[in-house]
C-alpha cells in the first residue's frame, strides 16, 4: 500500500485543496495551480472538514462580487453547519457590520464608515505614520538589527490604528497580540477573538462616555445614528480589517525590496517610487490572499459548477493576482485592478487610498531613517504564517548601521 504525502493529497483532483495546511504558507502558488486545474471554481478546505468553493478565475470572481441578487454575505446559514469551536469562525462569523450585511443595512454601515474615514486628512495620516516610525526607529535604531515584522510592521499598525481610534500607544501590544491569533485561524483563534472583542468593547464604552477627536467618536455621532452596539461592530471589523492586512502589505513590500539590492537602491535613490513596490505586492503576494466570502442564496450552476447554498464561496485574490501575471502585460498603476486585491463590487475595500498612503509612507520613512537595511536571510528562506486567509511573513530579520533618531542633528 502506498501512502501519499499531505502535499500530494492536497493536489489530488478528487480531494479538496487544503488551504489550512502548512504547505500552503510555504508555497501557495502550487495550491492555486491545483485549484485552477479544477476550473474557474475549485473545491478547497478552509479548516479541517470545512469546505469552500474557491474562485480563481477573474471573470467568475467579478460575476460573483457584483451579483447581490444571487449571492449574499450573510454567513448565518453556514454557521449553523459548523462546530462552535471551529477555528475559522473568528474570520467568518456573522456580525452586524458592513462586511456581513446585504442591501440597505450594508449601505448604511458602509456609508457611515466611508464618511468617517473621509474625515482623516492625508497630511494628518502621514504625520501619524511618521510619528509611529520615529518611535519604532528610536527603539530598534541603536541595536543595528531588528525583525521588521515584529519590531516594525505589526507594532507600527497598532500604533497608527490606536492613534486613529483614540487609544494611547501603551495599548498597542494588546491589539497586536489579539489580532494575530485571530487571523491565523489556528488553536488560539477563539482566545484572540475574545481578547479583541474585549478590547473593542472597552474602547467604545469609553468613547460613548466621553467623545474624542477620533474615528469611534465620529462614528458614534454620524447622522446614520448607529447604536453604540452597531458602532462596536463596525470598529471590530475596521480595526481587524485594517491592522493585519496593512501590516502584511508593509512587511511583504519590505521583503521584496530588500531581497533585491538593485531594486532597493533605485528606491532609496528616489529613482523609483515606493508605490511600485507596494503595487508589486498587491499583484504577487497580496496580504488578504483568500476572502470575499459569499453564500449562494439557493443552489445553482455558476460558471459550470454546481454550487450548494450555505457553503462558503471564497475569492482567491492571491490566485487572481498570480494568474493575472500570465494574462495581463504592460505597466501598472496603483488603481489598476488586474489583481483585484481590493476586491470589486459593493463590498470592495472602502479604505484603499488611506491604506496605500500608510504603506508607502511607512516603507519610505523607514528606509530614509535606516538607508542601509540588509536582509539577514535570502528571501527564499523566509517563513510565512499558516492560515488560509492571509499572506503574512513570520519574520524579516535585518541588519543596518546603528542610528539614534533622537540625538541632536539626526533627521531622516
Q: Does 341 bind ligand HEM (CB under 6 A)?
A: yes
C-alpha R_g of the chain: 21
Minimal distance, residue 320 CB to ligand HEM, in Å: 10
Minimal distance, residue 403 CB to ligand HEM, in Å: 28
Contact 286, 23 (CB under 8 A): no
Contacting residues for 361 by C-beta, under 8 A, at least 6 apart: 125, 126, 129, 130, 133
Q: Does 96 bind ligand HEM (CB under 6 A)?
A: no
Out of 156, 241, 278, 393, the only residue in the binding site for ligand HEM (CB under 6 A) is 241
Minimal distance, residue 409 CB to ligand HEM, in Å: 34
Question: Residue 292 carries which DSSP code?
Answer: E
Residue tagged 475574545 (cell numbers): 194
Minimal distance, residue 73 CB to ligand HEM, in Å: 7
Minimal distance, residue 284 CB to ligand HEM, in Å: 12
* Nearest residue (CB) to ligand HEM, 145 versus 325: 325
Choices 10-18, 136-144, 238-246, 382-390; region in contact with ligand HEM by CB under 6 A: 238-246
Q: Does 349 bind ligand HEM (CB under 6 A)?
A: yes
Sign, CA dihedral 321-326-328-332, equals positive
Q: Does 290 bind ligand HEM (CB under 6 A)?
A: no
- b/e burial code for range 89-104 (CB count within 10 A of at least 16 → b): bbbbebebbbbbbeee
Dist. CA 230–CA 113, nearest whole Å:
11
Choices 34-42, 201-209, 336-344, 375-383; region in contact with ligand HEM by CB under 6 A: 336-344
Q: Which parts of 170-273 fold into alpha helices (H)?
A: 172-184, 189-209, 215-220, 228-258, 261-268
Dist. CA 218–CA 204, nearest whole Å:
11
* Nearest residue (CB) to ligand HEM, 175 versus 370: 175
Q: Does 245 bind ligand HEM (CB under 6 A)?
A: yes
Out of 56, 75, 232, 238, the only residue in the binding site for ligand HEM (CB under 6 A) is 238
Count of C-beta atoms within a 10 Å radius of residue 130: 16
Dist. CA 156–CA 133, nearest whole Å:
7
Choices 41-49, 212-220, 237-245, 272-280; region in contact with ligand HEM by CB under 6 A: 237-245
Q: Does 354 bind ligand HEM (CB under 6 A)?
A: yes
Q: Does 347 bind ligand HEM (CB under 6 A)?
A: yes
Out of 158, 249, 253, 257, the only residue in the binding site for ligand HEM (CB under 6 A) is 249
Minimal distance, residue 348 CB to ligand HEM, in Å: 6
- b/e burial code for range 34-70 (CB count within 10 A of at least 16 → b): bbbebebbbbbbbbeebebbbbbbbebbbbbbeebee
Q: Does 292 bind ligand HEM (CB under 6 A)?
A: yes
Q: Does 72 bind ligand HEM (CB under 6 A)?
A: no
**Per-residue CA distances from 88 to 131, 285, 317 (Å):** 35, 22, 18
Minimal distance, residue 75 CB to ligand HEM, in Å: 11
Question: Residue 395 carries which DSSP code?
Answer: -
Q: Which of 273, 242, 255, 249 is nearest to 148 (CA)?
A: 255
Minimal distance, residue 335 CB to ligand HEM, in Å: 13
Q: Does 366 bind ligand HEM (CB under 6 A)?
A: no
Contact 47, 87 (CB under 8 A): yes
Q: Does 277 bind ligand HEM (CB under 6 A)?
A: no
Count of C-beta atoms within a 10 Å radius of residue 199: 19
* Nearest residue (CB) to ligand HEM, 236 versus 369: 236
* Nearest residue (CB) to ligand HEM, 291 versus 384: 291
Choices 177-185, 287-295, 300-308, 395-403; region in contact with ligand HEM by CB under 6 A: 287-295
Dist. CA 38–CA 305, nearest whole Å:
10
Question: For residues 153-212, which are near ligand HEM according to CB under 6 A?
Answer: none
Q: Does 232 bind ligand HEM (CB under 6 A)?
A: no
Q: How many residues bind to ligand HEM according to rule CB under 6 A? A: 29
**Per-residue CA distances from 240 to 159, 182, 366 (Å):** 14, 9, 24
* Nearest residue (CB) to ligand HEM, 172 versus 355: 355
Which chain residues interact with ligand HEM by CB under 6 A? 98-99, 110, 113, 237-238, 241-242, 245-246, 249, 282, 286-288, 291-293, 317, 341-343, 347-351, 354-355
Amino acid at each position: 500500500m502506498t501512502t501519499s504525502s499531505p502535499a500530494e493529497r492536497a493536489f489530488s483532483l478528487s480531494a479538496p485543496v487544503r488551504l489550512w495546511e502548512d504547505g500552503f504558507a510555504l508555497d501557495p502558488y502550487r495550491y492555486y495551480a491545483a485549484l485552477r486545474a479544477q476550473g474557474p471554481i475549485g473545491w478547497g478546505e478552509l479548516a479541517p472538514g470545512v469546505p469552500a468553493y474557491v474562485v480563481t478565475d477573474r471573470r467568475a470572481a467579478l460575476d460573483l462580487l457584483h451579483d447581490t441578487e444571487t449571492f449574499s454575505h450573510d454567513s448565518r446559514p453556514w454557521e449553523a453547519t459548523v462546530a462552535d469551536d471551529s477555528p475559522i469562525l473568528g474570520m467568518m462569523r456573522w456580525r452586524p457590520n458592513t462586511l456581513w450585511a446585504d442591501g440597505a443595512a450594508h449601505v448604511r454601515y458602509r456609508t457611515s464608515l466611508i464618511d468617517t474615514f473621509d474625515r482623516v486628512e492625508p497630511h494628518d495620516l502621514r504625520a501619524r505614520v511618521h510619528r509611529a516610525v520615529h518611535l519604532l526607529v528610536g527603539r530598534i535604531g541603536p541595536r543595528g538589527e531588528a525583525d521588521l515584522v515584529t519590531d516594525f510592521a505589526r507594532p507600527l499598525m497598532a500604533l497608527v490604528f490606536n492613534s486613529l481610534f483614540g487609544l494611547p500607544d501603551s495599548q498597542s501590544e494588546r491589539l497586536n497580540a489579539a489580532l494575530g491569533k485571530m487571523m491565523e485561524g489556528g488553536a488560539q483563534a477563539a482566545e484572540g477573538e475574545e481578547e479583541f472583542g474585549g478590547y473593542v468593547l472597552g474602547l467604545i464604552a469609553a468613547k460613548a462616555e466621553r467623545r474624542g477627536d477620533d474615528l469611534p467618536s465620529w462614528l458614534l455621532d454620524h447622522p446614520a445614528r448607529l447604536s453604540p452596539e452597531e458602532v462596536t461592530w463596525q470598529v471590530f471589523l475596521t480595526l481587524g480589517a485594517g491592522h493585519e492586512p496593512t501590516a502584511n502589505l508593509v512587511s511583504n513590500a519590505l521583503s521584496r525590496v530588500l531581497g533585491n539590492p538593485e531594486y532597493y537602491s533605485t528606491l532609496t535613490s528616489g529613482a523609483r517610487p515606493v508605490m511600485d513596490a507596494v503595487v508589486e505586492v498587491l499583484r504577487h503576494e497580496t496580504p488578504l490572499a483568500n476572502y470575499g466570502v459569499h453564500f449562494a442564496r439557493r443552489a445553482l450552476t455558476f460558471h459550470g459548477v454546481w454550487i450548494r447554498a450555505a457553503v462558503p464561496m471564497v475569492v482567491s485574490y492571491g490566485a487572481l493576482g498570480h494568474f493575472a501575471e500570465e494574462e495581463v502585460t504592460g505597466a501598472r498603476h496603483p488603481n489598476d485592478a488586474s489583481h483585484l486585491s481590493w476586491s470589486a463590487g459593493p463590498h470592495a475595500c472602502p479604505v484603499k487610498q488611506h491604506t496605500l498612503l500608510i504603506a508607502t509612507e511607512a516603507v519610505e520613512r523607514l528606509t530614509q531613517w535606516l538607508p542601509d537595511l540588509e536582509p539577514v536571510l535570502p528571501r527564499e528562506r523566509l517563513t510565512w504564517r499558516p492560515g488560509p486567509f492571509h499572506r503574512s511573513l513570520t519574520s524579516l530579520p535585518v541588519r543596518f548601521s546603528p542610528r539614534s533618531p533622537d540625538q541632536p542633528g539626526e533627521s531622516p
